[in-house]
Structure 1
Amino acid sequence: MAYDEDLANRVRERLGGEPGITERRMFGGLAMMLRGNMAVVVRGAAGLMVRVDPAEADRALAEPGAEATVMRDWVMRGWVTVSPAACERDADLARWVDRGIRFARTLPAK
């Protein structure tokens, strides 16, 4: 399944000149990585996967359109799946992308 190219372009635009960003196809989508750490994934199943501080995950999950990320029946701690509707508005997309980048900045480079 292909990921949403328009959403990927909007994420790219939001990331702008952020140094250390690379892209990699994975999970059926497109991962945006900061210094080798995944921060945001444009999902093949639509919407986003956003990396969050596990200590702040409950707060992120309480937002509209957010749910726990599950892969192969395993809940991925520190990741939130964001519905397409919850990232339609530029301000909402910016909030989610910024959250993923903010947490990825705290991780050592790979």
Structure 2
Amino acid sequence: MAYNEQLSIRIHNILTELNVSFVEKKMFGGNAFMINDKMCIGIMKEELMLRVMDEFYESLLEENYVNPMNFTGKIMKGFVFIEPEVLLTENQLKRWINYGLDFAERGVLKSKKKK
């Protein structure tokens, strides 16, 4: 199943409205938004995927319609899926996008050493 292209357009428009510099990349069968060279917002099928700061991760998982990212059968800590039921309005979507933007601004990625 392809990703929700309408949701992708909505995210694109919000990031543009906020004057955020971003690059879109097709990844994981979906669409990712790279900000400050970090994949922090994306779409897989109908769900919004976010990379969030560790300080918010556990509390977000307690909310309805928020699930840990389990893409390969293993939970990827720091990533969450947001179900479409809480993405209906622009204000709802902006709320979630702000978590991804926060990670893009403050998040530190662990560098992977080349072998």
TM-score normalised according to structure 2 size: 0.86
Give the RMSD, CA atoms, in angstroms: 1.7
Which protein has the larger Cα radius of gyration, Structure 1 or Structure 2? 2
Separation in structure 2 between the aligned mates of residue 27 and residue 101 of structure 1, nearest angstrom: 20
Q: CA deviation at 1:108?
A: 6.1
Deviations 1:39-70 (A, max 9, x none): 11111x21111110122101111222101110
d(CA) in 2 for partners of 1:94, 1:6: 15
Q: Take 2:58 and 2:46, find their aligned partners in 1: how far apart are those partners? A: 22
Q: How many residues align?
A: 108
Equivalent-residue separation in structure 1 for 2:107 and 2:78 (angstroms): 13
Matched, 1:67 2:67: yes
Structure 1: 5+ residue stretches without partners: none
Instruction: Indicate the residue corresponding to 2:112 in structure 1.
Output: none
Query: 3-state SS of the aligned residue for 1:30?
Result: strand
Higher normalized contact order (CA 8 Å, seq sep 6+, divided by chain length): 1
| 2:20 partner SS | coil
In structure 2, list runs of 5 or more residues that go unmatched.
110-115
Q: Helix, strand or coil: the match of 2:13?
A: helix
Runs of 4+ residues over 2 Å off in structure 1:
none
Question: Is residue 30 of structure 2 the alignment partner of residue 29 of structure 1?
Answer: yes
